[in-house]
């Protein structure tokens, strides 16, 4: 299982347009993968936003969906994928 973090910069005047796009993306993602996304803004930089998707089981399907849907945003998006670290014995 992996966790996905997608971040990008958004100018203030574009936030409302993007808010609707994020809501639509979250709906598609949850419907097709069962993963519920969260939208966050960086505390010390109001132009940096992040989507968080935790517990993704089918990485290839999720990544293809993110690629297709993310291309509709109109802003460069950066995707980071993190995996759990096994506990040392």
Domain positions in the chain are 2-82
Tokens of 71: 């291309």
pLDDT confidence of 88, banded at 50, 70, 90?
low
- For residue 23, pLDDT beyond 90: yes
**Segment 60-78, tens digit of pLDDT:** 999 999 999 888 888 899 9
Spatial distance between the Cα atoms of 78 and 58, rounded to a whole number of angstroms? 19
**Segment 38-67, tens digit of pLDDT:** 999 999 999 999 999 999 999 999 999 999
Spatial distance between the Cα atoms of 85 and 74, rounded to a whole number of angstroms? 34
Region for residue 43 given its phi and psi (left: phi exceeds 0; alpha: psi -120 to 50; beta: otherwise) = alpha
Selecting from 3.40.50.1820, 3.30.70.100, 3.90.1010.20, 3.90.1150.220, what CATH number does the domain 2-82 have?
3.30.70.100
pTM here is: 0.88
């Amino acid at each position: 299982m992996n966790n996905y973090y997608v971040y990008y910069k958004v100018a203030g005047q574009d936030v409302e347009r993007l808010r609707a796009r994020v809501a639509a993306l979250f709906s598609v993602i949850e419907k097709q993968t069962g993963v519920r996304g969260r939208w966050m803004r960086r505390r010390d930089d109001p132009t940096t936003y992040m989507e968080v998707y935790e517990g993704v089981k089918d990485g290839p399907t999720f990544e293809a969906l993110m690629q297709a849907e993310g291309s509709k945003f109109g802003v460069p998006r950066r995707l980071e994928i993190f995996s759990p670290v096994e506990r040392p014995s």
